[in-house]
Amino acid sequence: MAAFRCRRDPCGFICLILTYFSVFYADYVVIQYVLIPAYSGSVWCTLHGSVFNIILLLLLACHSKAVFSDPGMVPLSETDIDFSDLRSQTNRLNDRGCEGWTVCSRCETYRPPRAHHCRVCQRCIRRMDHHCPWINNCVGELNQKYFIQFLFYTGMASLYSMALVVSAWVWRIRSEIEGDGDEEEEAPSKHLIVAHYIILLVESILFGVFVLVIFYDQLVSIITDETPIEQTRNRLMKDKPNNTYPTHITHKRKPKMALLREVFGRGSIICWLFPLHSSPPSVGGISYSALPDYDV
């Protein structure tokens, strides 16, 4: 499935390569040009190097889970279904407690409430947030947790690398002022070191701001219980005159902590920091299968 997405979305494949290149480049610069020159022979070198690499390992683990996990694809029916009488059967569908089920004209199958079709994956995704090229996968009901964790650790790595680069730069300037450095030995590599510092700072700032905005948007989406697709659709429907289109929220709004636990799991909050498997949420007691509980 991942190989299919790479062929379908070349931009996503490029973003994957760029993500891993940026991570390994940041690790190389931090170790080779920041920690070893500034903290060589000190316990801080080992400490900062260990913490930074742990953050990067968690970042890559969360990213891999977000890439290769099923975002919540709606299973396709094994047999062809005749949808010609769908409208006449609407009342029967509601009587069986399957409100919100719709039919995807592209997949030609029933889909549960809050599922949307992804043109890249060519499947309907349960509680689809968006298709993200940085993970070359959809962000949906089953992998949103890993995607948010990836954003969190990317932000942490960006802030940490910025702090280390600034501290090493200050140390280098102080050494030059005090005359501790060997100018003749350092002159040939000084421009290279400064270039690496600047590139890593720019990379950290860009990625840090980028993931901060998306991280905030993801949290707002969770605590408001509306995906960006649903927010856009509801705004458009509210602007229409004589609108009778119902939104997906027909029940009492859940507490914010309950909504967060639906995404991150019902275990300890500490476990939310790790890419551990959690049981998928259920909506309205409906089990997600290829068909609703409905006679066709």
User: Mean pLDDT, 10 residues at a time, over the chain (296 residues)?
Assistant: 60 91 96 89 92 97 95 81 54 49 83 90 92 93 96 97 93 77 55 91 95 95 90 76 52 82 88 81 46 43
Structure tokens at 191: 């421009």
Q: Is 98 a catalytic residue?
A: no
Q: In terms of DSSP bridges, do strands 109-111 and 102-104 run parallel, antiparallel, or are they unpaired?
A: antiparallel
Q: Is 85 a domain residue?
A: no
Task: Provide the domain count of the chain.
Answer: 1
Q: What is the pLDDT of residue 254?
A: 83
Q: What is the pLDDT of residue 294?
A: 41
Q: Whole-structure pTM over 0.85, yes or no?
A: no
Question: If we measure between CA atoms, which residue out of 161, 186, 185 comes closest to residue 173?
Answer: 186
What is the DSSP-derived secondary structure letter of residue 137?
Answer: E
Q: Is 208 a domain residue?
A: yes
Q: Is 170 a domain residue?
A: yes
Q: Is 26 a domain residue?
A: yes
Q: How far, in Å, are 72, 114, 151, 280 from residue 293 at the CA level?
A: 19, 17, 38, 20
Q: Is 213 a domain residue?
A: yes
Q: Report the 10 Å Cβ neighbour count for 5.
A: 22
Residue 191 host element (H or E)? helix 183-223
Q: What is the pLDDT of residue 293?
A: 46
Q: Is 96 a domain residue?
A: no
Question: If we measure between CA atoms, which residue out of 218, 216, 222, 219 comes closest to residue 281?
Answer: 222
Q: What is the pLDDT of residue 5?
A: 56
* Catalytic residue chosen out of the listed positions 118, 124, 132, 138: 132
Q: What is the pLDDT of residue 240?
A: 65
Q: Is 220 a domain residue?
A: yes
Give the CA angle between residues 285, 287, 291 to the nearest 5°: 130
Distance CA 22, CA 31 (A): 14
Q: What is the pLDDT of residue 171?
A: 85
Amino acid at 251: H
pLDDT in tens, 210-244: 999 999 999 999 999 998 888 888 777 776 665 55
Q: Is 277 a domain residue?
A: no
Torsion sign across C-alpha atoms 9, 55, 62, 115:
negative
Q: Please check whether residue 262 is in contact with residue 281, taking contact to mean a CB–CB distance below 8 angstroms.
A: yes
- Residue 207 lies in domain: 10-70+130-177+189-237+254-272
